Chains A and B, each alone.
Chain A
Amino acid sequence: MHWYRKLSIKQKQVVWAWTFLAIPVLFYIVIRFYPTFGAIVLSFQNWNLLGAKTWAGLENYQRLISDPVFWKVFSNTFIYLLLGTPISLVISFVIAYHLDKVSFLHATIRAMYFLPFMTSAVAMAWLWRWFYQPVPIGLFNNILSSLGISQLPFLNSTFSALPSVLAPAVWAGLGFQIIIFMAGLRSIPQSYYEAAQIDGVGSWTILREITLPLLKPTIVFLVVFSSIGFLRIFDQVFNMTTNDPGGPLNSTKPLVLMIYDTAFNDFNMGYAAAQTVVLFTILLIVSLVQLYVMRER
């Protein structure tokens, strides 16, 4: 280890860093990158899992570009992102912020908000689908008609289907975001708040000047992670539209569902791989843009 002692502090840091990273990097390369590279290669081939792979050049991509369903799916995916992320983050922050200030039955209330996240997505999807049914069995429509309001089609309309599917996704994800926000809020040293209290600063100002800025790493995490999550939405759509997958008329179909369908119903692995590459590219660009915009200045 003599060479180690001769290194400068900075260089020692680098050695330590790579030592720590050695096994994980190996893991990610073998378990994640290698298959990803395989998927990229596959996007230029034809394969149905059973036979041999044949080269297809840019065929899969050309087919993708000229497929109107793909463009609908593309726009659906972005709608999920643009509606889902802001709405869920705002709601979850408000809840986390106020929950932080409450102590009576705090643990119970927190568990109540987290419970949806913990329960099986399949079970929850069926429940929500049941709630969306028309009278006589649908909970929401029963409530509406008892108030004299006419029924809403929810899942049965190309217009309201996507928001109807998004709602349980937001609902389930709230627990996750609330917990992360709470962890973030509780990481802020009390001394800041104590100092502000002494100075007689109002709570709005505290929120704006102290809490939110100190919460920034948490916010960055949640924005990027939730965006990835909504762009990758699958479970809710898959389980709620079993009667008309991605429907009605492709109005709820996100990209991951299209990939799943192409891969496991059509068994067209090459085409699915091409769609995966597109998804990957979208996610990468969106995340990089977000990280750049929210970077530490």
Chain B
Amino acid sequence: MSDIGIKASAATLNAAKPYNYNKRMEPAQVIRWTILFLGGVVMVMPIVFMMSTSFKWPHEIYNLMIIPDDPTIENYTYVLEDGRFYKWFFNSLVIATITTVSAVIFDSLVGYTLCKFRFRGRMVVFVAILSTLMIPTEMLVIPWYLMAKDFGWLNSYWGIMFPGIMTAFGTFLMKQFFESVPDDFLEAARIDGLNEFQIWWTVAMPLVTPAISALAIFVFLGNWTAFIWPLIVTNDPNLYTLPVGLTTFSVEQSVEWELIMTGAALATIPTLIVFLVFQRYIIRGVVMTGLKG
């Protein structure tokens, strides 16, 4: 009975209603909303300028008017007509998607293990994994390159992906979020005869969907914007990721900012989509009934 109960309550995802929704029209609430909204506008201002710059001719880019005197879509046509743009876009998409799926699975598994299992060496493993966050990627790029060369991974999707298939950041995040999963649930599942893997996948994971969604968004973003490693490991321009490809607009001694802004605007679209898709899982939250105070 209990595992069905767990699944049922975990599946009772609450709609995005804050607990005091009945206070919707109170003055405090209105003020709160207004300040948040204005704050949001301030946050977004630079991006508005970025969009605006992407529609300007080079001589106007420092013009502070949001609507340029002489608007043009020339920048967009220039970037989009470049056949390579779609290739870069596709490469980034494939790589980011695969690494995201991989990282979500592995990071959750490791985070869960470090959180819910007691074994000697647990803290050591945790700190060791955490410590991998403390070396800047720049210093790892050369050893990775030599390693990739020895294994024959140069110039391939796998070559670009392999450093990112699991992340210390995600492991840390998931470990923290698994703390909020009550041990009782896991015990009950064990009593019901599920093995540890099943417990992780069917009981624990659904209870941390907000964290998984957040993780997915961040890993996707991190891989989508990766630059230095994809540049070093690929010789074939057909394999470039989007950030590498977009640097063709900054040439020696001169950066064409209007094109950079255009590229940045276009690059934001998939991350925006991923965000919009996943964010609702963060918001739904989790309801756990049957929890004894």
Which residues of chain A have a CB within 8 Å of any CB of chain B?
10, 13-14, 16-18, 20-21, 23-25, 27-28, 30-36, 38-39, 49, 95, 98-124, 126-128, 130-131, 133, 137, 139, 142, 171, 174-176, 179-180, 182-184, 186-191, 193-195, 197, 214, 217-218, 220-221, 224-225, 228, 232, 234, 256, 259-260, 263-264, 269, 272-273, 276, 279-280, 283-284, 287-288, 291
Contact = CB atoms under 8 A, between A and B. Distances in A.
Given A28-B132, A35-B143, A119 B47 contact: yes
Nearest to B178: A217
Given A95-B39, A98-B36, A224-B172, A276 B284 contact: no
Contacts of A34: 143
Contact of A217 (B14, B110, B179): B179
A276 B33 CA distance: 45
A278 to B, nearest CB: 11
B225 interface: yes
Contact of B166 (A27, A131, A272): A27
Contacts of A133: 62
Interface residues on B, range: 35 or more
Given A179-B279, A186-B285, A191-B288, 7 more contacts: A16-B196, A106-B283, A117-B221, A220-B176, A225-B133, A272-B139, A283-B134
A280 B134 contact: yes
The listed residue with most B CB atoms (<10 A of its CB), out of A186, A221, A291, is A186
B214 interface: yes
Contacts of A280: 131, 134-135
Contacts of A273: 139
Interface in B133-165: 133-136, 138-140, 142-144, 147, 162-163, 165
Contacts of A184: 177, 210
B44 interface: yes
A214 B180 contact: yes
B272 A228 contact: no
Contacts of B33: 102, 104
Contacts of B53: 127
A27 B168 CA distance: 11
Contact of A180 (B17, B130, B162, B214): B214
B264 A122 contact: yes
A121 B110 contact: no
Interface string B73-112: 0000000000000000000000000000000001001101
8 closest pairs, A vs B, by CB?
A: A186-B285, A112-B40, A35-B143, A123-B264, A283-B134, A183-B210, A120-B264, A217-B176
B136 A217 contact: no
B115 to A, nearest CB: 9
Contacts of B172: 221, 224-225
The listed residue with most B CB atoms (<10 A of its CB), out of A99, A220, A264, A291, is A99
Contacts of A197: 19-20
A32 to B, nearest CB: 4
Contacts of B283: 106-107, 110, 182, 186
B208 A137 contact: no
Nearest to B171: A24
Nearest to A21: B113
A234 B139 CA distance: 13
B138 A112 contact: no
Contacts of B185: none
B289 interface: yes
